[in-house]
Amino acid sequence: MEKQLDKIENHLNEMHAGDLDGIGIVMQGGLYNTVLRSLEMMGLADVFGKSRVPLYVLNVTYPLVPNEFVEFASGKRALLIVEEGQPEYIEQSVNQFLRNADIQTRVVGKGPLPMAGEYTGAVVSAGIKAFLAQWAPGAVASGNSASSAPAPANERPLLPIGELRKAVPPRPPGLCTGCPERPFFSSMKIVQKELGSVHVSADIGCHSFATLAPFHMGASIMGYGLGPASGSALSGGQGGKRSISVMGDGGFWHNGLTSGIGNSVFNQHDSVTVIVDNGYAAATGGQYIPSSRAEVKNRKGNNPIERAVRGVGVEWVRTVQTYKMQQGIDALREALTTAYKGPKVIIAEGECQLNRARRVAPVLRQMVKEGKRVVRQRFGIDPDVCTGDHSCIRLSGCPSLTIKSNPDPLRRDPIAHVDNSCVGCGVCGEVAHAAVLCPSFYRADVITNPSAWDRLKFRFRSAVIAFLQRRFDRRLARIAAEPLP
C-alpha cells in the first residue's frame, strides 16, 4: 500500500483528458507513442500529443493502482487496454478493480487487439479502429475532418503523407556518427569484394543496423547472442565458403559465450565469429558489462573477452582495432582463407562514441574552463581534389558525410563534404586509404587555449602557405596574359 500511495503522490503514471470522454484508452508506457501516432492518423490527436480520446499511460505497470483506474473509468462506457503479450494481467486486474468499485465500464483488450505478437503501428491502429467502431462509431468519421483535429493556433496544416514523401528524403536508422562498428563493416565490404560474398548471421544490437544501407550485411537475426548459433548450420554453404557470425559484447556476455562460442568449440564448427567489443551494452543505453574498462563501484569489470574465448577452448583468436581498417581487413582475409579447421574468433575493439562523449566531454569542458590546452580533431574534404565519385559515402555511410555543389564550373557532379557533426574518428580517411580512393580527405587539429609554440607554428605555416599561394596566383596571371596561339 505504501508503494501505491507513493505512486499517486509522485504521479508516475499519466492521465490525459479528451473531449470524447465516454471512452478511454489505457496503455503500457512503451506503447504511448504508437497509440498517439495511430490516433493522429485517424485525426483524433495532433503531433504535439493532444488527444481527443482520454488516455491513461502506465509508466509503471507493477504494482497497479486501483484508485487511479477507478478515477479514470468513472463516467466512461468502455476502456481499451493496449497491453502487449499474454496473459493479459492488466486487463484482468482492471476488471477486478472496477467490479469491486461497482463501476460497470466495459473493459476491452484482447479481441480488437491480438493475443500474441508485436504491437506494431498497423496492429494498434486496427485494434483502436475496431474499438471505436463499436463504442464511438462517429469518432473516426468526425476525426477525419480537418476542423475536428486539434491544432495549435497559427499552425500551418500538415502535409498529406504522399506529399511529405516527395519533399522529405527517407532516413532509415543507422550507426551513429563515429561509431566504431562502421569501419569494421566497411572492412567486411572490401574483403567480400575481393573474396566474394559470404553468409552473414547478424545479431541483436547496434551492429544489426549493418543489415541496412550502405552495408546490406546480415541474412538472419535470431536472438541476442545467437549469431554464431544461427550461422553454424550455414557455414560451408555458398560453394564451401565459411560463414561470418556477428555479435556484440553485450550479446556475448548474455549467452553468446555458451550458446555460440562454447558450442562452436564443442562441435568444431569451421566458421568465423566477429565479436564487436565497444565496451558497453551500447544499444540499450550504455550499461556496463563484465568487459567494460571503467571502474564501477560494487562491480568487477575489465574482464577481457579474448581471455574468456580462449578459456572455453578457442585456439584461433585475433584482436583488432576497428578504427585501423587494415587490421580488420587482414584478420577477415586470414579467417576466411586459412587452412585451420575449427572456430575462428575476431574481436573488434573500439569504444562507443556516444559513451565516450559522455565520459570525455565533461573533462574537456573543465579543462577549457581552467584555461588548459585542448586539442580536438576534425576531418574535411578538399573541394579542389574531390572528384565527386562518392565512393567514400557508399563504403562507410557516415552521417557526417554529405554532398555540396562543385566549385569547379567545368564539373557537374557534386563533391563530398564533411559537416559539423563530425566527431573526428577518422573513419572517412581510413576508408579512403583502405579502399585506395582519392586523397581528398584532410585532418585539422582544433586547438583551444593554444600554447606559445602552437601560435608560432600557426604563424609560420600561414606564412609559407601565403608565399606559395602568391606564387601560384602570379603564375595564373602570366598564363592569362599570354596571347592565344
- Per residue in 145-163, pLDDT (tens digit) is 443 444 444 445 666 767 7
- Per residue in 195-249, pLDDT (tens digit) is 998 889 988 888 888 988 888 888 888 888 888 887 777 765 556 788 899 999 9
The domains of the chain, with CATH numbers, are: 2-167 (3.40.50.920), 181-355 (3.40.50.970), 372-467 (3.30.70.20)
Residue 145's pLDDT is: 46
Rounded mean pLDDT of 46-51?
87
Residue 166's pLDDT is: 74
Q: Which of 113, 53, 55 is nearest to 83 (CA)?
A: 113
For residue 438, pLDDT beyond 70:
yes
Unique residue bearing C-alpha cell 588548459:
372
Residue 174 CA to residue 210 CA, distance in Å, equals 8
Residue 150's pLDDT is: 46
What's the whole-number average pLDDT of the chain?
Answer: 86
CA atoms within 13 A on the CB side of 138: 3
Q: Give percent of the chain with pLDDT exceeding 90.
A: 47
Residue 4's pLDDT is: 43
Residue 52 CA to residue 151 CA, distance in Å, equals 11
Residue 10's pLDDT is: 65
**Peptide bond just before 87 cis, omega within 30 deg:** yes
- Per residue in 367-412, pLDDT (tens digit) is 999 999 999 888 888 888 888 888 888 888 888 888 888 888 887 8
Residue 288's pLDDT is: 92
Residue 374's pLDDT is: 92
Residue 6's pLDDT is: 42
Q: Which of 220, 225, 212, 258 is nearest to 237 (CA)?
A: 220
For residue 426, pLDDT beyond 50:
yes
Record the pTM: 0.68
Q: Is residue 433 very low, low, confident or very high in pLDDT (cuts 50, 70, 90)?
A: confident
- Per residue in 303-330, pLDDT (tens digit) is 999 999 999 999 999 999 999 999 999 9
- Per residue in 68-118, pLDDT (tens digit) is 999 999 999 999 999 998 889 999 999 999 999 999 999 999 999 999 888
State how far Cα 115 lies from the chain centre: 29
By three-state DSSP, how is residue 375 classified?
A: strand
Number of H helices, E strands in the chain: 18, 15
At how many degrees (to 10) do helices 66-73 and 2-10 cross? 50
Q: Which of 397, 399, 425, 423 is nearest to 323 (CA)?
A: 425
